[in-house]
Amino acid sequence: MSTPKPHHVPSTGWIEVVTGCMFSGKTEELIRRLVRASIAKQQVVVFKPAVDVRYAETEVVTHTGARLPCFPVATASDIEAKVGDAKVIGVDEAQFFGPELVEVCNRLADGGRRVIVAGLDQDFLGRPFEPMPQLLAVAEYITKNLAICMVCGGPADRSQRLVARDQRVLLGSEHVYEARCRACWNPHHFDDPQDTLPISG
């Protein structure tokens, strides 16, 4: 009687998405997972869009000051070119990349990598912020963080823009945005209609 051959399970990767509004701790959670992977002796590499220079050019930085070295890249395709042998890939501010990011993340996961992506799920008008909806659809693991509403103190899932600018992408932090709950959020009301508040980035 022949011995059955053991079933071969291929090494598979996956995609994790951490999402939510501004100030909900997305980057903080991304850094936490990447640091734990490094402690486990896994090779880690981190990317962010080159346009994001609010706090640092070559680091992923939280609003509270935690930071991790990263590669700033102009396009999602640049991520694949710089991944090297890393088994864990972090991508911050994913909403600033185009739809190509979904294909890149899928290819990396198909190749056995763990891909952790953080980004806004909605823009300041409450619209799904591509490519995040597509990433949420293909991810194995999804975490949605809530912030604290700066008006009522309740759970917040919206980003209130405080300055009167209508472009979709507007880099900034506490001078430009604050977290709001559904009831307190008003996308067409600006605290500073003359746009005199300072803007970072």
CATH of the domain at 46: 3.40.50.300
- Among residues 93, 103, 130, 140, which one is catalytic? 93
Percentage of residues in the chain having pLDDT higher than 70? 86
Q: How confident is the model at residue 199 (pLDDT cuts 50, 70, 90)?
A: very low
**Residue-wise burial string across 137-169, b where 16 or more C-beta atoms lie within 10 A, e elsewhere:** eebeeebebebbbbbeeeebbbbbbbbeeeeee
Domain around 94: 14-145
In a domain, 6, yes or no: no
CA atoms within 13 A on the CB side of 32: 7
pLDDT tens readout for residues 30-56: 999 999 999 999 999 999 999 876 767
In a domain, 193, yes or no: no
In a domain, 50, yes or no: yes
In a domain, 201, yes or no: no
Cβ 172 vs Cβ 143: under 8 Å? no
Question: What is the pLDDT, as a whole number, of residue 59?
Answer: 87
Instruction: Tally the domains of the chain.
Output: 1
Q: Is 80 a catalytic residue?
A: no
In a domain, 51, yes or no: yes
In a domain, 95, yes or no: yes
| Among 3-12, 32-41, 165-174, the range of highest mean pLDDT | 32-41
**Whole-angstrom distance, CA of residue 50 vs CA of residue 47:** 9
In a domain, 137, yes or no: yes
In a domain, 163, yes or no: no
